[in-house]
Amino acid sequence: MILKNDIIVTAQELMKNGDPVSLDSVARKIGLTKAGLVHHFPTKKALMISLVDDVARRWSKMLEEAPSSSSPEGRMMTYLNYALSDDIDSSDFAFMTDYKLKDELYTRWAELIDRWFDFNDIKDTSRRNALTTVRLIADGAWFDRGLGMLSTSEVERKSIISTSEVILNNGVNK
């Protein structure tokens, strides 16, 4: 019996391979009729939202399980380490895969992820700026890795992490 999660994994595989994700393509790939797939996901929007939810769930698990996740700096370093890892692929970008649904998918992504990276309540401007700076470093690495563009050596990776730790420890004053 094919489960909902099997369908999500199949759709992610299509994304990883650069193939279009539609109800038809997913049904064909997993061996269901379109009617069988629609039983689990009545619309493409429902499927795409489930894909976004799955990525956000993985991120939340990673951030919750990190020993230092209780502080904004700890969450940011966990994210940076992930962004520089080999665990990223194009399925991380589920919220950007369908132009017609992009606004709804992005809104869903933001609802699920922003709570981890909302630093607006931090009054210390230097600390808030440091967190934002490291987030932009991590976002850039995440995009590059997900697109298959960034290749860093272990020495470069350690340097990026070390530099980011210095930024977080010292703050950004200007």
SS3 for the chain is CCCHHHHHHHHHHHHHCCCCCCHHHHHHHHCCCHHHHHHHCCCHHHHHHHHHHHHHHHHHHHHHHCCCCCCHHHHHHHHHHHHCCCCCCHHHHHHHCCHHHHHHHHHHHHHHHHHHHCCCCCCCHHHHHHHHHHHHHHHHHHHHHHCCCCCCCHHHHHHHHHHHHHHHHHCCCC
Residues of the chain with pLDDT under 70: 174
pLDDT digits (tens, 9 = 90+) for 137-155: 999 999 988 888 878 899 9
pLDDT digits (tens, 9 = 90+) for 18-45: 899 999 999 999 999 999 999 999 999 9
Q: What is the pTM of this model?
A: 0.85
